[in-house]
Amino acid sequence: MALLEIRDVVKTFGDFTAVNHVSLSVEAGEFFTLLGPSGCGKTTLLRMLAGFEQPNSGQILLDGKDMSQVPPEKRPVHTVFQSYALFPHMTVAQNIAFPLQMAGVAKADIPARVAEVLEDVRLQQFAKRFPHELSGGQRQRVAIARALVNRPRLLLLDEPLSALDAKLREEMQLELINLQKEVGITFVYVTHDQGEALALSHRIAVMNKGEVAQLDAPETIYSYPKNRFVADFIGQCNLLDAKVVEVGGERMKVEIPGVGVCETLPVDGAQVGQSGTLTLRPEKIRLAASVAHDADEVHFTGKVHDCLYLGDVTIYIVELDNGTLVETMLPNSAPGRARFFDDNDAVELAWRYDAGHFLLG
Ligand code: ATP
């Protein structure tokens, strides 16, 4: 049995549908992420899990138990908010002890429980400090410690890192991964940051307009987006208009008008003449003045349109023969070599037939 089961949940505000027939389940011990652009309904879904909002229809089950009649404070669920929501007049230890006092834990047991969770978040030396004496990252760790101290079945995290600068965010991401492994509590994490979702999660539900657009492991979401929305939202992706010209067998052939025919992985239900989109990640494309390629590779020509030097890699935007722009990249791994081509250089591109992924429609 899944730890959390969301069954056909709908939430409307007036005549606006914020969450539209969402069903999904989360296993015990999972790091599960709700990812999507602003307004897609992820926070509303999280708030329903916490009990701050009630669904119009559908069910939320935790350990098989329907939560509809269970108020927020009685659910074995805690939420960590972006704003930390720490009590400013209490020390770190007092902040963390607070939920234990509220739950009626015996006074004598509280110090040990607080010490244990302070160790989990590596803040043992900070027990006596007040929130204003801590950095943003430390405050966030206190907020997480306070949410964990009651050992909830489910920890909900609503964009907990979005107030931190990029470097600290990366550090906190690593800490969250390790913390979740150590404490083994199931995390449901909300973010609009696709890099963060890919880095942290066991599985991701990508949401769009109140619906789940795709639910899969990060690698699957990235490599095999199920629709244009997911392909476009997650990372950089080339979306090439194409048409099916041959089906049957282990490979399918599609034509990119004005460029040529290429092989790709077969798609269930594809028929000759159907149009769609070939999705292709920049790093899957090999680029050279003259690129050696074999029978498993697609090969086209083009010319460099723009170059963007990013330090570790340089992005080359290549114009195909039909005027379509394709993003490619080359690592700057060779010493001193950072620019292989200039604007207007003639180049060749190649990619394995199974690097591209065709979407019908
Ligand atoms: P963000 O990342 O910006 O927080 P989100 O994906 O979390 O976005 P939600 O906060 O779930 O989005 O909101 C989904 C939609 O529902 C938005 O259009 C929002 O304006 C609307 N909405 C949310 N709460 C309410 C409310 N209490 N009353 C009316 N509309 C609401």
- Ligand 1 centre to CA of 84 (Å) is 20
Distance CA 25, CA 350 (A): 40
CA pair distance 357, 265, nearest whole angstrom: 6
pLDDT tens string 68-88: 889 998 899 999 887 778 899
Question: Quick check: CB of 191 below 6 Å from ligand 1?
Answer: no
Q: In angstroms, rounded to a whole number, what is the distance separating the alpha carbons of residues 11 and 51?
A: 13
Instruction: Label residue 306 by pLDDT band (50, 70, 90).
Output: very high
CA distances to 50, 58, 76, 228 from 215, rounded to whole Å, are 21, 19, 25, 14
Sheet holding 325-331, edge to edge: 286-288, 346-352, 297-309, 313-320, 325-331
CATH architecture of 4-232: 3-Layer(aba) Sandwich (3.40)
What is the residue extent of each domain of the chain?
4-232, 236-360
Q: Which protein residue's CA is at the shortest distance from atom 2 of ligand 1?
A: 38
Ligand 1 pocket, 20 CB below 6 A?
A: no
- Looking at ligand 1, which residue's alpha carbon is closest to its atom 18? 39
Whether ipTM > 0.90 holds is: yes
> Does the structure show a pLDDT above 70 at 337?
no
Instruction: Name the pLDDT band for 55 (thresholds 50, 70, 90).
Output: very high
Predicted pLDDT at 8: 97
Provide DSSP, 54-68: --SEEEEEETTEE-T
Looking at the DSSP assignment, which residues form a beta bridge with residue 62?
4, 65
Over 70: is that where the pLDDT of 25 sits? yes
In this structure, what DSSP letter does residue 36 have? -
As a whole number of Å, the end-to-end CA separation of the chain is 36
4-232 and 236-360 share one CATH topology?
no
Domain 236-360 in CATH: superfamily?
Nucleic acid-binding proteins (2.40.50.140)
- The Cα 346–Cα 248 span in angstroms is 35
Distance CA 208, CA 229 (A): 8
Q: What is the pLDDT, as a whole number, of residue 183?
A: 87
Q: Does any ligand 1 atom lie closer than 6 A to the CB of residue 192?
A: yes
Give the up-direction half-sphere exposure of residue 89: CA atoms within 13 A in the CB hemisphere: 0
210: Cβ below 6 Å to ligand 1?
A: no
Residues 6 or more apart in contact with residue 157 via CB below 8 angstroms: 79, 80, 144, 176, 187, 188, 189, 190
pLDDT tens for 230-282 read: 999 998 999 999 999 999 889 999 999 999 999 999 999 999 999 999 999 99
Tokens 């599985």 sit at which residue? 203
Is residue 18 in contact with ligand 1, taking CB distance under 6 Å? Answer: yes
3-state SS class at 147: helix
Mean pLDDT of 131-146: 89
**pLDDT recorded at residue 295:** 87
Q: Who contacts 262 (Cβ-Cβ below 8 Å, separation ≥6)?
A: 253, 254, 255, 256, 278, 298, 300, 353, 356
Rounded distance, CA 287 to CA 104, Å? 65
b/e burial code for range 134-148 (CB count within 10 A of at least 16 → b): beebbbbbbbbbbbb
Å from CA of 275 to ligand 1 middle: 35
Residue 47 CA, closest ligand 1 atom number: 11
Contact status, residue 306 vs residue 280, Cβ threshold 8 Å: no
